[in-house]
Chains A and B, each alone.
Chain A
Amino acid sequence: MHIPGVEGFMYPNEVELQWSILIVLYPFITGLVAGAFILASLERVFNVEAVRPTYRLALLTALAFLLVAPLPLQLHLGRPERSLEMFLTPHTTSAMAMFGFVYLWYLTAVLVLEIWLDYRRDIVLLARRSRGLMQHVYRAMALWSDNISDRALALDDKIGRFITIVGIPSAFLLHGYVGFIFGSVKANPWWSTPLMPVVFLFSAIVSGVALVMLVYMLTCRVRNAPIDMRCLDTIARYLLYAFIIDFGLEMLDLIHRIYEAGESFKSLDFMVHTRLYLPHIVIQILCGTLVPILLLAVVQLGRLEAPVRKRLYAIAGALTLIGIFAMRWNVVIGGQLFSKSFLGYTTYKLEFATREGLLPAIILMILPFGILWVLIRLLPPWEYRESA
């Protein structure tokens, strides 16, 4: 009896994939959060003045995506109504159980607090300026405080800096931990490597920086505001550095696997040459990594005019996001295409309008941009310079 989509031998329970495109979105979205936050911290902690125009935008982007991050997980659960049990009765040896706590810590103790402290003065001013319903909203957001004395603002700044310093290891933790969820599964040789959290972290930084760069360019265009080229060049330079480290780590992992050629190697090698050839070699490595690195490097080496640089950054940024998405896809989906017997392969059937199909995935990817739009309307990030 032949099972459609199966080649060779799979253990019978393995034929259906357990983790769908929604679980691809989960590390992708949390990666964007961590990356955007780390870009924001550049200005605050390391005093990289040049990236200042994106500071608040990066924080709002991180928040918009962080709010969406648990949704694909929730949607994927067989019994979503029981998800609260993960907080109430967590199993301490489970990497997954800790997600809720790392997430809540990051959301409430780091990101929301940092944004609030940074915006507190603006919120109070907005509350004074606005009328009607919006006045109530802003007053509630200021926690009904009207104190923006110099002393209070100095305290805000002091606490804010402290939170950012705590925030950087927290962002590392958030995404490194996501990598650990996969990297610690010893049953799966495609996942099981101590490099996984590190690779996830650097690819997170890459994707988050690229996203903020694109969002910045897009918002400038929509507002008809000039792009601060010094800022954009600096972001692109950091993107290149992070990308080189990320690519180096991924190549290290790959070369190590090829050279060791362990028991699972033939299986994985076959997969990379067949089912994963397009997403792994073509989309992830060629289009999503080498081309953007090359484009970013060309800008560094050559003396290009601003409009050309902008175009190259836009192309590099978009390709980067596609490449990092492909990387998450190849880890999550690729890791389930081969049998743990190393004797066969199965196929992932992506459905469209089902609970774990393409449609909810697309909606979940659009949602954070909607949230970001609301956040930007509520807390305009560009008044930073004028009000600072």
Chain B
Amino acid sequence: METTRREFLRNTGTLLLLTSSAALAWEAVAAGTPELVPNYRLDQHWWGMAIDIEKCIGCGNCVRACKTENNVPLEPLYFRTWVERYRVLAADLEHPEVDSPNGGFDGFPPHPASPGSKNFFVPKLCNHCAHSPCVQVCPVGATFESPDGVVLVDKTYCLGCRYCVQACPYGCRFIDPRTETVDKCSLCYHRITKGLATACCETCPTGARKLADLKEPKDPIHEFLRTHKVQVLKPQMATGSKMYYNGLDGSVR
């Protein structure tokens, strides 16, 4: 069988073109139509959260509500949100004593009295960074920043390579043992796109956590940011975090 160079190139070219267009077409068909939420426009929102450390009482409502709402495994190694308890001696910001028994799910056992220390709780969750290191490293784009500022995971697409878990500076990601794919806070995307608050904000008894839409002019977040001295976690990481903490102590990591 003799094949000329021209024929070979033409045949391979055609084959490549046909298979790749068939693959693209199949992808589009298999993806289906996304679920529509009436009246929700992606370009009209930019989500974040205001967290007031001075108001957090460490009750653990948010942790419990989150696990229930989002079907998070109940074992103590998997959390979309958790609460840390800090005890800092006035002169020693570098060595805070921190604990988070079961992520604060069961509340906190009393501390033995320790005079001369300051004590506070720090609720943690995904920072929904605008420049997420986790999104950057995902090899297939299974985790992504939505146009309205939420970092989401496509569980049907995630390989479970865990690179994003390594890349998150805040320890917000885990591998769901049931699916072997990554899981993290979705900012209750299924709720906020329908005009509801997140489960953690909804159940916080003191209003320490408040969902914020930074694109909504009437959102109280603007007043909050104007009148409080806020900080984000690990600002040196330059991740563009949108979790704004009021009263964040220098000892918090």
Contact = CB atoms under 8 A, between A and B. Distances in A.
A190 to B, nearest CB: 11
B138 A94 contact: yes
Given A18-B162, A94-B136, A89 B173 contact: no
A9 B137 contact: no
Interface residues of A, number: 42
A234 to B, nearest CB: 40
A86 B137 CA distance: 12
A93 B144 CA distance: 12
A12 B103 contact: yes
B102 A1 contact: yes
Interface of B: 23, 27, 76-79, 82, 84, 96, 98-103, 124, 133, 135-141, 157-163, 165-175, 179-181, 237, 253
A13 B181 contact: no
Contacts of B100: 9, 11-12
Contacts of A83: 159
Contact of A78 (B79, B84, B137, B160): B160
A187 B140 contact: no
A238 interface: no
Nearest to A191: B166
A187 B139 contact: no
A9 B98 contact: yes
Contacts of A188: 166
A13 B165 CA distance: 9
Given A13-B78, A13-B172, A340-B170, A186 B133 contact: yes
Contacts of A15: 77
Given A12-B103, A15-B77, 14 more contacts: A9-B100, A12-B100, A12-B171, A13-B165, A16-B77, A19-B162, A78-B180, A85-B140, A90-B139, A93-B136, A94-B136, A186-B167, A343-B96, A343-B98
A79 B158 CA distance: 8
A303 interface: no
B140 A340 contact: no
B121 to A, nearest CB: 14
Contact of A187 (B96, B98, B157, B168): B168
A269 B139 CA distance: 32
Contact of A3 (B76, B138, B140, B179): B76
